[in-house]
Amino acid sequence: MVKGTRGTGRKAHGGGKSRTNTNHLRAHRRGVVKGRWDDICTKELLPENIEKTVAEKTVLDPDKPGLGQHYCVACCRYFIDFAAFTSHNATSKHRRRLKMLTTVKPYSHEEARAAAGAGPSDHGMDPPRLPEGGRAMET
């Protein structure tokens, strides 16, 4: 064996520090992970729908955290116990999302389709109507 060919610690190509040892401190840069769209959450937060939504979401389920008993409708999250749920309700992230969902009107599917150019083709103008005879009026 030639001396100095193994174990020198030098990489053949650069690349900087590898990211194999990431930790939780970088998680806040990933953004918000939403389970449901804002228009669905807004409909669920309406006073006439909130009781029905909570009843549907808090059915006993052993696969969900806390058996599915502690659910935040605004954030679409389950919590392990009531203490975690109440501490979540005190966070600024929850309050900001709740305020946004209750005050700002979300985009509907019709608005999104119209913005993409897939809306109705009438452009707000009514087509001319023919009289009962089926012929256009002469002037």
The tens place of each residue's pLDDT in the chain, 139 residues long, gives: 566 566 666 656 666 666 666 666 666 666 555 567 888 899 999 999 999 999 999 999 999 999 999 999 999 999 999 999 999 999 999 999 999 999 998 887 788 888 888 766 666 667 677 777 666 556 5
d(CA 78, CA 85): 8
For 52, 63, 93, 131, 133, the CA distances from 99, given in Å and listed in that order, are 21, 30, 10, 53, 57
Largest CA distance in the chain: 106
Q: What 3-state DSSP class applies to 77?
A: strand
Output the CA–CA distances (angstroms, integers) from residue 125 to 22, 58, 73, 129, in the order listed.
58, 48, 41, 12
- Given a contact cutoff of 8 angstroms between Cβ atoms, the answer to whether 77 and 88 are in contact is yes
**Cα separation, 139 vs 137, whole angstroms:** 7
Place of tokens 């806390």: 66
> Are the beta carbons of 43 and 49 closer than 8 angstroms?
yes
pLDDT tens, 89-128?
999 999 999 999 999 988 877 888 888 887 666 666 676 7
